[in-house]
Each structure stands twice: as structure tokens, then as C-alpha cells.
Amino acid sequence: MPELTFLEAIRSALRDEMTADQRVFVLGQDVGVKGGVFLVTDGLYQQFGEHRAIDMPIAEAGIVGAAIGAALHGLRPVAEIQFADYIQPAVDQIINEAAKLRYRSAGDWSCPIVVRAPFGSGIHGALYHSQSTEALFTSTPGLKVVIPATPYDAKGLLIAAIRDPDPVVFFEHKQLYRTIRGEVPDGRYTVPLGTAAVRRTGRQISVFTYGLMLHHSLTAAEQVAQEGIDVEVVDLRTLYPLDRETILASVRKTSKALIVHEDNLTGGIGGEISALIGEYAFEYLDAPVRRLASPDVPATAFNEALEAHFMLNPTKIAHALRELAAY
Amino acid sequence: MPELTFLEAIRSALRDEMTADQRVFVLGQDVGVKGGVFLVTDGLYQQFGEHRAIDMPIAEAGIVGAAIGAALHGLRPVAEIQFADYIQPAVDQIINEAAKLRYRSAGDWSCPIVVRAPFGSGIHGALYHSQSTEALFTSTPGLKVVIPATPYDAKGLLIAAIRDPDPVVFFEHKQLYRTIRGEVPDGRYTVPLGTAAVRRTGRQISVFTYGLMLHHSLTAAEQVAQEGIDVEVVDLRTLYPLDRETILASVRKTSKALIVHEDNLTGGIGGEISALIGEYAFEYLDAPVRRLASPDVPATAFNEALEAHFMLNPTKIAHALRELAAY
Amino acid sequence: MSMQTDTSLASLPINDPALPRHRQLGLSDEQVLAALAGMQRVRNVDDRLWQLSRQGKAHFVITSAGHEATQFGCAWAIRAGHDYSVPYYRDMALALALGQTPLDLLLHGMGKPTDPASGGRQMFGHFSSRALRIVSGSSSVGSHIVHAVGLALAFRITGEQDIAAITFFGEGATSEGAWHEGMTIAGVQQLPVVFVCENNGYAISVPAHREVPVRDVATKAAGYGMPGVIVDGTDIFAVYAAAHTAMQRARSGGGPTLIECKLHRLRPHSNADDHSKYRSPEELAALAQHDPIDKLRDYAILHGLLDAVQWQVLQQQIKAEVDAATLAADQVPDPPLESLYDHLYGA
Amino acid sequence: MSMQTDTSLASLPINDPALPRHRQLGLSDEQVLAALAGMQRVRNVDDRLWQLSRQGKAHFVITSAGHEATQFGCAWAIRAGHDYSVPYYRDMALALALGQTPLDLLLHGMGKPTDPASGGRQMFGHFSSRALRIVSGSSSVGSHIVHAVGLALAFRITGEQDIAAITFFGEGATSEGAWHEGMTIAGVQQLPVVFVCENNGYAISVPAHREVPVRDVATKAAGYGMPGVIVDGTDIFAVYAAAHTAMQRARSGGGPTLIECKLHRLRPHSNADDHSKYRSPEELAALAQHDPIDKLRDYAILHGLLDAVQWQVLQQQIKAEVDAATLAADQVPDPPLESLYDHLYGA
Ligand SMILES: Cc1ncc(C[n+]2csc(CCOP(=O)(O)OP(=O)(O)O)c2C)c(N)n1
Ligand SMILES: Cc1ncc(C[n+]2csc(CCOP(=O)(O)OP(=O)(O)O)c2C)c(N)n1
Ligand SMILES: [Mg+2]
Ligand SMILES: [Mg+2]
């Protein structure tokens, strides 16, 4: 199996689906000739032409809205928002339109679109090229929110998202694009939406995380393993709807939980997961459910020292694991 | 003290502040000549003229953005979004602009605006005139989110919001507008932002709630009191930042917690509150923290039977209280 | 790219000034009579909804009174079930003209589970039918325009010819950012889509001069690289001519058009509105002169398509029809409560 | 409401065709020389930032090369500290022209705590100074225009006279919904605000014909009830004339203006961009002809404001200045880590 970067895996999902299914196309700013500012869509314009790799004006509501319209006619649009920080102008189209189309028409219409957006910090993007904006979407029935962490998943989940009959917001951590490599099959395959994956089994503490933080959590788990702390690490993969069964099964086994996300602490998905555990695994808990997240400030600063201070890393996670183990 | 409806209390806050402070003005769709679709701003146009009660085009980003601009020059704009369902096009201006202005300029600029919006169901408003959209804003550092439940608070909190040096999103439950009356002082007074209020003291269960649900919770508490269940009811009033001290003090006393909100269950503020309790009052808990909320469907349906089925009411809350008491 | 205040009828079949206007446009007597009956039918449903709202049986009414000629005129230019229509809440007459029935509309207005638009989920005014290619909308003003643009983009991608999307909105909607983005994309890509502005001079209470920075909405077209056309929206033939030309232009690869139909909202914005608060008594009194049904009826009588007695009979027939539909709709039971959870996600 | 391709200079002081252009416009020799030096200074900072980015000391560079004449020409029309300027990331030259120093810009580019724009929080390109009334912006394209409109609304409310807001953006930004909403509000209320489009023909890689549905952005003004003016954005005098006229018009209650400055982005969009992927070698080679600094230098030499030797000396002085500023900026230590939490809320 070829080794691909996270970014190449996403590109390969797009290329494979576009090759196999004429209904699939990409649209967004700079996704055509340039191949995207991160080069995720590089080559698609050359291969599929300007009608299926469409350079769009700077109009996020227009891009997502046009995707919705095309989906109504049976196409399978994959819209790119250049940075997750710029998805806000499209929030209305995603939440009020795409997510409600099936429900509001009692099933007569549907809206199979994918909205891709790179998110997260660590590339000196400062306040407006670093945000984690998933919390905007994790309270919207009708929507799915997917965040892959490995190249294999990135391809399989994106193909599943494209084939899904409903709208999917698909966030890609931009620091993973080129730093993470992994085996990725050549052909088309799917990883089911709505299911978490246990990336490391352990008996003492469950970590629930996603995106870049999965990798930091795995590193931290290895660190504390040497100290005899046995950590299970769960990659959530889909944030809405959450895979309650996997979450609850893990914590019922370990009886301690740490939730790790790069999004701000307050109002992030961590609260929902903690609430689920508190409600449905209460009797199993040996310690408070802990959350480790970015501080409640707008996003990471441009200054490198502040950026490093803002960001989570394996050391901080290991520290939280030790504290929880000692509880 | 005069008795005012919830709506009159809000109007009185606006009129009193506009009279006392030349910097205060209102802007929004239909807020001028017509006085707002709910008549909240009725009379302000006549009293203060077209420059301080400004009818605006249907342009939510423009309305909030113009408020931001005016605030930069030192004014105190109060923008009305006609329904909370239509605040989405302004999400970018509220979250990415207003909430970050002070932080991104290291304190050089600030953005003292208020964005008012009626929310909630119960007036046959169906999918797009009934939504609770507060969860869009309760993960944004730099912002404050306020939801009053009584006429006294509506006036005092709105005046506090207007005088607050930072942006405040102020949601008003539209079913309260004319159904709730209460004593409201004539003059100007404030109710501090960021503090919850214990509306009913009790020893067995803490209910955390806000808006219309406060009233339903109080009714439910009276119902179960007759059965010997002693419930404390906390009106959160500010959802961001939360009043952690009051929440934790209450649950440390009662050792059981029920969170009640009209917003969808998943991703609503209830998760954050449950997480806080689970993290900081773990040792005190005698039962799982329960959440009672609207089902995870887009919003209430138009059909009356479905609308009633969707909505929370005192009976449903009383039922949840009994279950929790029995735990 | 120029603004036309007079519509070229070049693509319309017959052009003999001696003929009555409808014949010049290639419309038969039957079509005119059917439109007149349809307009009267929808007005009856409109009346009925206001009645039902007073009885507590329909909780929301949003009128199309005054807009009927525009909506029926456009409907003539649309092949329902083939072209896509993306309407707004004001388009009850359009829904009926495209094939929905008074029963459909009343089921919708009364929130019944058999409401074809939404199964009783949406407030009245959210017309939808996949079979008729009438696209489901939200209540958010201006957010649907770009769906029509996306449909047109889809035709471009699939290479389908001879098909177009058409979307409708008030002049108030043209202030929304999403409207601008839709117009921009349509203009850049010269997509097969027609934009119809039903300019009734008000956005609820706000008069056009406080919400539209130009006298004519059609002027805005110039910024989007498409023609802007102004028509009298109470004149069904003028509207048809403009819509037909624009749809043909779109279908044949000629690009988008913005049509502004100037007309009057004869009733308050909705049953929650009191328009006497912001329209003067004189203005309100003058509204009756702008009733498009009167206009078409007079035309039909003038050209001998029907006489005054036939008109009386037709009105009564329609009333009876709407009575029957009301009764039928009223009898439909509420949905099972668990249906609240249906259709959230597909399979 | 008409589109002017030639700007009326009626409000400018002197109008004698025998004089050199700057004198006709009432500009002194010193002013021209100061602008030339300023443009050269900012180009030096630009060069320096690209260098620093290769050294890993400045993580983001967004050039103003090619835009200097537009930004300096507008700055002449702005009373910094009185009128409000609402810039975008391309406006480094404007920031300097309004009073920021090379050190300010370098502190900003190196993310230092003494960066006056953001205390090291924002990426380079987010110029801000309350003292100079340069408004802090986000990176979100098009979202700041409406803040200028809101400032203008504030002047209307307070009744302040003789003050205006001016905002800057690329042609790409004119597709954004928020831009449209700002333009609409300004047009409806005829507010004292000037909109300057720096049309460099690209939105990152997307050429104007794929993102702007009309040839000239100025055409869009017609839909907003304001004049649209086209100027050569590499000609500082043409820009000044248009900006001065528009600002005076705004300040005296005449309403808003849209000015389109046509110019060229001489470098890639940012240090993360490779423009050879979407601009042909010929196009890239031709860019040198559109350097506004060369243009103003030639003008200055032609009119005897300085000679070639003086130009050499000036360039060296400026380089030394920027060297010194770089050194000074580089020595500023990082902020205390707890400062991450400062300025979240006011007192
Ligand atoms: C995004 C949004 N903002 C505000 C509203 C409230 N609203 C409903 S209808 C309306 C006026 C629309 O006016 P116009 O577009 O002219 O259409 P008309 O009703 O006159 O046909 C407004 C402001 C809404 N539904 N959606
Ligand atoms: C809302 C938003 N969408 C997308 C981007 C990404 N982006 C940054 S600059 C840019 C191009 C802007 O082009 P233009 O407005 O013409 O300005 P120029 O850079 O050419 O001066 C884009 C798409 C952004 N910053 N904000
Ligand atoms: Mg209207
Ligand atoms: Mg550009």
C-alpha cells in the first residue's frame, strides 16, 4: 500500500470519487488553476476541467449555497472554505439551509453536500488562520461534522462524506497536511461516519480526542505508559452525531476520562462529551471527567512564544494524565 | 413600583438609556416607524427621531457591522435582529469581529455593542421563527451572552449590557413578551452581567435554567414540592461567561442537578454546565447530572400537536425532577 | 449588459400589433381564462386563510394579493417539473400556477401532515414540491437565491441544455449579502438562471427608499453583468413577455437576467402586521386600483373571453371549490407524535 | 449617480494646465518628495519582510508592492487622527503614509509585544492605531467595509460635520455579502464614507474575470446610488484627485463614492504563494512596467524635484533607516506568557 501524507490522502479521495462518479465536483476559492492554497485540489482542474474544479469568487455563502443548489439537482458538490475561520459567512447556509432541507420538506428534498475546511493552529496563522470552529456546527440536527486524524481515515471518511445523503462539514487540521504519513489504499473505500476508533487500548484512563490532538494524545500516552499509566485513546472522528456507544464503553471500562481538544475549553465539544459520560456512566466514574483544551481566548497569537503557550502538546496532555491517574 | 410586561420592561430600558445617554441608539429592521415586529421599540422613533431609531435594510451583517463601526467612534448601538433564527448571517460580524476587536488590538479598540434578538418557540413560529440559537455564541471568548427571564431583570440586564464595555448578545424569549408581568422600577438600574440568581431555594435538587424555562421550572418545582421534593431553581441569566460559583455552590448543597433548556439537547449550553459540575463538584454528586432539553430536531414544527410534543413544559420538568429525586 | 425598460419580444411567436396582446404573445384564450380563474382561486385561498387565522385554524398568513399577475405571468414561462422554481413566501399564486391545488395550500396553511410542502412542519408560505421542481425554502430572506444559482451551475456541469432555474424575491431581499453572492456567481459564470424581483415597495414596514439605494432594483443588474428589465408587475402579459424572453435566453446559453416587477402588496405583510401604522389612509385607499385580477378580468371581458355573468359564475364555482378544499383539509387528523423525528437524516 | 471615468477637480485649489500636475492639485514639491521617499521606505520594509521570512523571523508577508501610489495618494486626502481609515491587509503603504513608522511595521511583522497594531497577536497586515484612527481589522475579506459605514453612521447620529470614513479592499472583496450590505446601507443613507477598491486583477490566484462579473468594479456603484470612479492606481496624482474629491464630497454631506484604482500586484499574494503557477512568464515580466515608484521617481526627476544622485542617496538613507529599525525590532523580547489572557474584556 502506498504511503501518503494526510493531504495526499484527501486529494486521492477527491480524485478517485471524481473519476468514478460524474456527479462529484469541487468548488471554492483558488481550488482550480492553483489547486488550493494548501494544494489539496492540485491537479483536479487539469484532470477534470474548469466545470468540475471551479474557482469561485470570495463569497462563502455563495459557494455553499451554490453547492446546495447543485445537490438539489442530484450532484455531489464538495465545497472548500479556504480556512475554517472563514466559514462564518456560510453558517446560515450550512445550518439554516443545508441541515434543514430534508427535515423541512418532510423528506421530499435532500442535500448531499460536503463542506471542507482546514482548521487549527501551529502554522503561525494567528487569530484568523488558526481557529477551531467546529463548535459552531455541533449543535445542529441534520448536519454531520467529521474530523479525520490519519491519512487512511482522511480518505475513507471523505469518500463516505461525499456519498452520504446529507450535508457533512469536514474539518482538516492543517498541521497534519504534510507532517503525517500513513498507508492509504489505492482504490475507493469508506470509513463509516458516526463511529469513533479506539487508537490505543488501555485500562486506566480514556482519552477522547480528534484531529491533531489525537497524535499528541498518543505521544502522551506512550510517555506515561513508561510510568505505568495505561491509557486508552479514542479518536472521535465524527463530532456530530457522536458515537456514544464507543465513548461510554471505553469509560465504563477505564472509569476515568480526559477529553482533549484544541478548540477553546468553554463551549467546545468537550462539554457535551463530559455531560454524556456524567449522565450515562456516572456509576462507573472514579474521578471527575477532565477537559484539556485551548485557553478561552480568541485563538492563538502570532507571537511564537504566545503561540506555543496557547497550544496543547504532549507534555501538557501527559501532565493531565498523571493528575488524573493520581486522583 | 409599576407593573410592566417583559416587553415593556425592555422598552423602558431602551427609552431610559436613550434619554440619559445621547450615545445610545437602536437600529434594525422595522424598529423605527413600526416600532419593531413585536413593538419592543414602539415610540422610540417618535421620541428620538430617525437618527436614533433607525430602520435598516434586510442585511444582518450590515446591521451588526454598522453597529460595530458606530461603537468604534464611541457610540452605544443596540442592534435588533428580528428573530434569533436570522442572526446567522451576522455570526461572522459578532464572533469574528465584535468579540475579537479588543483582544486583536491589544486593548487599543473596543466594541460596546448590544445585539438583541427574540428567540424561542410557542407562538406557532415553526422551524424559522422559533429557534434557540444561543449555542452559536457560547463558545466565543470576548463575547457575553445574556438571557433574562423576568421583567425586572430584562430592564436591568439590558441597561447593564448597553453600558458594558464589550459586545453582548441579548436574547429575549418571545413567549415572555406579553405573558409575564412584574414590578419594574421607573428609573435606571442595572443587574450585573455574569451573575446567576437563585429564584427558589431548595435542598434536594438544583435546576439550572433560563428564559421561559425558568418559569416552567418554578411551576414544576411547586408541583413536586407538594410531593416533598425540595428543589432549588437557579436562573443563569448570563450564559457566557457562566457564573460558576453560583452553579457549583448550589449543586454542592443539593448534590443533584437538572439542567433545563429549550435549545436542542446536544450541543446546547447544558453540556457545558454538566461538564463544569462533573469536574468541580464531582465529590458532591449523589446522582448523574441530568439534562432536559428540546429534542434533537431542527426546531418546533408548525403543526400544533407536534409543536406541543416538541416543547418542554412544567409536566415534563416535574417528571424529570421526580426521577432525579428517586435516584 | 444594458438596462432595458422595454422587453424584446423577438423570441415570442407572433408579433402582429392588430391582435389582442395575449395572441401577440402566442397565448390562447383558454390560457388567459385559466390564468384569470387561477388568480381568482388563489385570492380565494388567501381570503380563506385570513378567515382561518381569525378562527385559530391557520396560525400564519402571508398574502400574495397584488402579486398574482407577476406570479402567473412567470408561471407561463416555466415548464413545471422541468425547469426549477425557487420561490419565496410571497409566492402562493406561483405555487398554484405551477400545479399545486387549493387543497395543497390549505393543508400547508393548516399545518397538516399531508401538507405536500413540508408535512406540516413549516409555517405557511414555504411552498415546495419535488415533482413540480418547486424548491423548499427557509424563512430567511434572500438565502434561497443562491440555490437557484447552484441549480443553474449543475446544468452547466452536466451539460444539460434547454433548462433553466428561476427564483423570486422581494426588493427587500436584494439588500442581503447572500443575494449579492448569488447574483455575482451567476454573472461571473453567465449561468442559466432568471431572477425575479417582486418589488412591492415595502419590506414589512420599511419603504423602499429606506432599504434600496436606487429607484429601480433593475439598476442593480448592471453590477452583475446581466440585463435588468423593469415591468409592470400587475400586467400579466408584460410579465410573461419578460419572463419568457429571459427564460429562453437562459435556456439557450444567453446567461442570467434580472426582472423587476413593480407591483403593490394589497394587504398587510402578514396576519401579524398592521399596515395602517406605516401606510397613509390615502395610500391604502389607492391600493384597490392596482389589483391585477381586476385588470385581467377587464381585459378578458373587453376581448370577449368571458362576460360579466360568466365571471360571477366562475367566482362562485371557485368559492365552492375552496369551501370544499377547506373542509377536506380541516378533517385531516394530526400526525403521529413520533413523526417529529422523521426525515432528520437519509438512509 | 453617474459613472465618471474622469474625476472632477473642481474642489481642488489650483487649476492651471501650465503647472506640473502636483501644483495643479495644490501639492507642494515637499509633499511629492515625502511621498516618493515614503513609497520607497515601505518598499524597503516590504523587501525586508520577505528576507526576514526566509530567515524564519517574520512568518507572514503580504506585499503592498504595486499598490503604493494608490495608498499614498489616498493618504493625502485623509486627515489622519481625524478621519477614520479602515484598511485591509494590503495597506502597509497606507499605514506608513498615515503615520506609522518602519519600526511599527517591523514590530508587527515580527509579532513583537510592542507591535502597535496588535501587540504581537495578529499576523502581519492587520494595521491599526487608535491614535491615527486606523481601525483594527480581521483577516476576513470584506468584513471591514461595513465598519467604515458604521463610523459614517455615527457621524450622522452625532451631527459631526467635516469628517469622513474611508475604507480599502481588493476587487475580490467586492463579491462578499458583507461588502454589499455595507454599500447598500451607505447608499440608502447617503453616508459620509469613501470606498476604495484596489483592483489588482487577482484574488490570490483567481483572475478578475472569474470573480468579478463586470469589467470595471466602478460599475457596481450604480446599484448603490453612488458615483463610481475609475482611476489609474499607479498614478498618485490621479488617485489623490479622486480621493480628495470623494472625501470632500463625503465630508460636506454629498454622500458616498466608490473609487476603483486599477493597478498591479507586483509580487505573489503572500510569502505562501507562488504566482508563477497562475500568471504567465510574459505577464510576470510585464509587471515591472507598472511600478508606481518608478513612475513617481521619473516624474520627480522630470520636474526637477530631485536628481538621480539625490535619488541614490535617498535610497541609501532609507535602507539604513530600515536596517536600524530591523535591528531595533529584532531586539524586542517576547511578551510575558500570561499576557495571552490580557484584553479579553474591558473593565
Ligand atoms: C434573514 C431574514 N431577516 C429578516 C427576516 C424578517 N422578514 C421577513 S419578511 C421581511 C421583509 C421582506 O421584504 P421583501 O423582500 O421586500 O419581500 P415582501 O415581503 O415585500 O414581498 C423581513 C424583514 C427574515 N425572514 N429573514
Ligand atoms: C472571508 C474570507 N474568505 C477567504 C479568505 C482568503 N483570502 C485571503 S486574501 C484573498 C484574496 C483577496 O483578493 P482581493 O480582495 O482582490 O485582494 P488582493 O489580495 O488582491 O489585494 C482570499 C481569498 C479570507 N481571508 N477571508
Ligand atoms: Mg417588498
Ligand atoms: Mg485583488
The mean pLDDT of chain D is 95
Classify residue D145 as left (phi > 0), alpha (psi -120 to 50) or beta. alpha
Tell whether B130 and B204 lie within a shared domain.
no
CB contact under 8 A, D335 and A305: yes
Give the global pTM.
Answer: 0.97
CB contact under 8 A, A241 and B291: no
**What does each C-alpha distance from B197 to B150, B180, B252, C296 come to in angstroms?**
11, 18, 16, 63
In terms of DSSP bridges, do strands C193-199 and C165-170 run parallel, antiparallel, or are they unpaired?
A: parallel
Tell whether A115 and A59 lie within a shared domain.
yes
pLDDT above 90 (res A73): yes
Q: Count how many Cα atoms sit within 13 Å of the Cα of residue A256 in the half-sphere of its side chain.
A: 20
What pLDDT sits at residue B1? 80
Query: Given CB atoms, is A69 within the 8 Å cutoff of chain C?
Result: yes
DSSP category for residue A95: I
Cell numbers given for D29: 514639491
Cell numbers given for A68: 446546495
What pLDDT sits at residue C10? 42
C102: closest CA among C161, C42, C162?
Answer: C42
| Residue D173 beta carbon below 6 angstroms from any ligand 2 atom | yes
SS3 A50: coil
Domain boundary residue among A122, A153, A183? Answer: A183
Does residue D241 contact residue C251 with C-beta atoms inside 8 Å? no
What pLDDT sits at residue D15? 65
What pLDDT sits at residue C14? 60
Residue type (1 letter), C4: Q
Q: Is residue B16 part of a domain?
A: yes
Q: Which residue puts its alpha carbon closest to atom 13 of ligand 2?
A: D203
Q: What percent of chain A shows pLDDT beyond 90?
A: 99
CA of D65 relative to ligand 4 center, distance in Å: 13
What pLDDT sits at residue D18? 86
Dihedral in degrees, nearest 10, Cα atoms A59, A61, A64, A68: -130
Cα separation, C238 vs C225, whole angstroms: 23
Cis preceding linkage at A241, omega within 30: yes
Task: Please name the residues in contact with D147: beta carbons below 8 A apart, sequence gap of 6 or more.
Answer: B65, B68, B69, B72, B97, D86, D135, D137, D167
| Residue A5 beta carbon below 6 angstroms from any ligand 2 atom | no
Residue A135 Cα, gap to closest chain C Cα (Å): 20
SS3 B109: coil
Summarize pLDDT for D183-198 with one digit per residue, the tens: 999 999 999 999 999 9
Q: Is residue B191 part of a domain?
A: no
Tell whether A43 and A169 lie within a shared domain.
yes
Dihedral in degrees, nearest 10, Cα atoms D214, D219, D222, D227: 160
CB contact under 8 A, B242 and A266: yes
Tell whether A55 and A131 lie within a shared domain.
yes
What residues in B contact D165, CB-CB < 8 Å? 69
What residues in B contact D117, CB-CB < 8 Å? 105
B56: closest CA among C205, D177, A149, C246?
Answer: C205
Comparison of pLDDT for A122 and C172, the residue scoring more: C172
Dihedral in degrees, nearest 10, Cα atoms A294, A300, A301, A303: 90
D144: closest CA among D170, D162, D164?
Answer: D170
Cα three-residue angle A121-A127-A132, rounded to 5 degrees: 50
Mean pLDDT over A13-27 rounds to 98
The mean pLDDT of chain A is 98
Task: Please name the residues in contact with D50: beta carbons below 8 A apart, sequence gap of 6 or more.
Answer: D61, D63, D267, D271
What pLDDT sits at residue D13? 56
What pLDDT sits at residue C5? 39
pLDDT above 80 (res D2): no
Backbone φ, ψ for residue B259 (5° rounding):
-105, 130
Q: Is residue B190 part of a domain?
A: no
Classify residue D336 as left (phi > 0), alpha (psi -120 to 50) or beta. beta
Q: Catalytic site residues of B? A: 129
Dihedral in degrees, nearest 10, Cα atoms C238, C242, C245, C251: -130
Q: Is residue A188 part of a domain?
A: no
Cell numbers given for D72: 499614498
Query: Given CB atoms, is B29 within the 8 Å cutoff of chain C?
Result: yes
Tell whether A87 and A151 lie within a shared domain.
yes
| Residue B86 beta carbon below 6 angstroms from any ligand 1 atom | yes
Domain boundary residue among B157, B183, B209? Answer: B183
Tell whether B205 and B258 lie within a shared domain.
yes
Task: Please name the residues in contact with C275: beta carbons below 8 A apart, sequence gap of 6 or more.
Answer: C205, C267, C268, C269, C284
| Residue C92 beta carbon below 6 angstroms from any ligand 1 atom | no
Each residue of A245-277: b (16+ CB within 10 Å) or e? ebbbbbbeebbbbbbbbbbbbbbbbbbbbbbbb
What pLDDT sits at residue C15? 65
Domain boundary residue among B183, B213, B230? Answer: B183
Mean pLDDT over D204-226 rounds to 98
CB contact under 8 A, B37 and C173: no
CATH of the domain at B240: 3.40.50.920
CA of A92 relative to ligand 3 center, distance in Å: 22
Please give the distance of CA C299 from its chain centroid, rounded to a whole number: 21
* Residue in chain D nearest B99 by alpha carbon: D344
Does residue C33 contact residue C52 with C-beta atoms inside 8 Å? no
Tell whether A83 and A121 lie within a shared domain.
yes
| Residue C208 beta carbon below 6 angstroms from any ligand 1 atom | no
Tell whether B239 and B133 lie within a shared domain.
no
What residues in C contact B86, CB-CB < 8 Å? 140-141
Q: How confident is the model at residue C16 (pLDDT cuts 50, 70, 90)?
A: confident
Mean pLDDT over C68-83 rounds to 98
For D131-214, strand residue ranges (E) read 165-170, 193-199, 202-203, 206-207
CB pairs under 8 A between A and C: 147
Say how many C-beta atoms besides its own lie within 10 A of residue B228's C-beta.
Answer: 8
Does residue C225 contact residue C188 with C-beta atoms inside 8 Å? yes
What pLDDT sits at residue C8? 42
Cα three-residue angle D200-D205-D206, rounded to 5 degrees: 75
CB contact under 8 A, D178 and B61: yes
Q: What percent of chain C shows pLDDT beyond 90?
A: 95
Which domain does B162 fall in, by range?
3-183
What pLDDT sits at residue B119? 98
Cα separation, A280 vs B278, whole angstroms: 12
- Cell match 473609487: residue? D259
Tell whether A270 and A218 lie within a shared domain.
yes
Q: Is residue A319 part of a domain?
A: yes
What pLDDT sits at residue D12? 55
Does residue D226 contact residue D257 with C-beta atoms inside 8 Å? yes
What pLDDT sits at residue C12? 56
Does residue A63 contact residue A25 with C-beta atoms inside 8 Å? no
B89: closest CA among A135, A86, A88?
Answer: A88
* Residue in chain D nearest A309 by alpha carbon: D337
Q: Which of B44, B45, B72 to mutate to test the interface with D (most CBs of D within 10 A)?
A: B72
Ligand 4 ion local residues (Cβ < 5 A):
D 170-172, 200, 202
Q: Is residue B230 part of a domain?
A: yes
Provide the domain count of chain B.
Answer: 2
Q: Is residue A18 part of a domain?
A: yes
Q: Is residue A190 part of a domain?
A: no
Cα three-residue angle B290-B293-B297, rounded to 5 degrees: 135
Tell whether A148 and A288 lie within a shared domain.
no
| Residue C90 beta carbon below 6 angstroms from any ligand 1 atom | yes
CATH of the domain at A8: 3.40.50.970
Tell whether B204 and B143 lie within a shared domain.
no
Tell whether A168 and A231 lie within a shared domain.
no
The structural domains of chain D, ordered by start, are: 7-331 (3.40.50.970)
Cα separation, A233 vs A247, whole angstroms: 10
SS3 C261: strand
Summarize pLDDT for D18-60 with one digit per residue, the tens: 899 999 999 999 999 999 999 999 999 999 999 999 999 999 9
pLDDT mean for each 10 residues of chain B (327 residues): 95 98 98 98 98 98 98 98 98 98 98 98 95 98 98 98 98 97 96 98 98 98 98 98 98 98 98 98 98 97 96 98 98
Does residue C277 contact residue C205 with C-beta atoms inside 8 Å? yes
Cα separation, D260 vs B252, whole angstroms: 64
Atom number of ligand 1 nearest to Cα B89: 1
Cell numbers given for C176: 442581503
